[in-house]
A and B are shown apart, each in its own frame.
Chain A
Amino acid sequence: QITLKESGPTLVKPTQTLTLTCTFSGFSLSTSGVGMGWIRQPPGKALEWLALIYWNDAKRYSPSLKSRLTITKDTSKNQVVLTMTNMDPVDTATYYCVHMGASSTSLYNWFDPWGQGTLVTVSS
């Protein structure tokens, strides 16, 4: 059974850097084909994919946020870390850690499961 749990600050000030950690179990991020990512959701709004890291350390970032994001993994600790610089009140959202599932052919992928999410508020 795959479980994911996000941790990090619940409140950050504008211009600060946010660091979120996802601690997972039930799989290894060193296994070929595995990916993990981050998705956020402002209160009452839609989901926005932020970043994804693959087992081979390849990374993908949302183009609109690429300059502010860094995703890293620590396979030995079963953790994935997201940093987002220059936080602004519009970045207030629930941040979810996600595992990327894939079909047996690896042609299709989807996000499953998701962590419970952590609400991050940006305010002075």
Chain B
Amino acid sequence: DIQMTQSPSSLSASVGDRVTITCRASQSISTYLNWYQQKPGKAPKVLIYAASSLQSGVPSRFSGSGSGTDFTLTISSLQPEDFATYFCQQSYSTLWTFGQGTKVEMK
């Protein structure tokens, strides 16, 4: 299995802050990396696919970058509705795996 490791596990930030979340794969996955947002009690929603492609309808303050083993999700200016948990997921292998999640909390 390809292991996905996110950091940090949680972070505290304020509205307007720039937030960066990192995801590392246990082997090279090219750009086969997706990011999801999950709010409490809700199902996850895809934000970014193929490492840097913004899903339709997702605000442009979200962006993704990286290739190989190291990836980043950036929120350029945190909004109140962005407080949530974020997961990365690899689609390089058809044995899909997720990171453990990063919870973005209000400072």
Q: Smallest CB–CB gap between A115 and chain B, Å?
A: 7
Q: Smallest CB–CB gap between A66 and chain B, Å?
A: 10
B interface, size bucket: 20 to 34
Q: When each residue 23-67 of chain B gets 1 if its CB lies under 8 Å from chain A and 0 otherwise, what string results?
A: 000000001101010000001111001100101000000000000
A interface, size bucket: 20 to 34
A96 near B43: Cβ-Cβ < 8 Å: yes
Closest to B96 in A: A49
Bound-complex Cα distance A103 to B54 (A)? 12
A contact residues around B43 at 8 Å (CB): 96, 113-117
Bound-complex Cα distance A116 to B31 (A)? 28
Chain A contact residues, CB within 8 Å of chain B: 46-49, 52, 60, 62-63, 96, 101, 103, 107-117
Besides A49-B95, A112-B45, 6 other CB < 8 A contacts? Answer: A47-B44, A48-B98, A49-B97, A111-B46, A112-B46, A117-B43
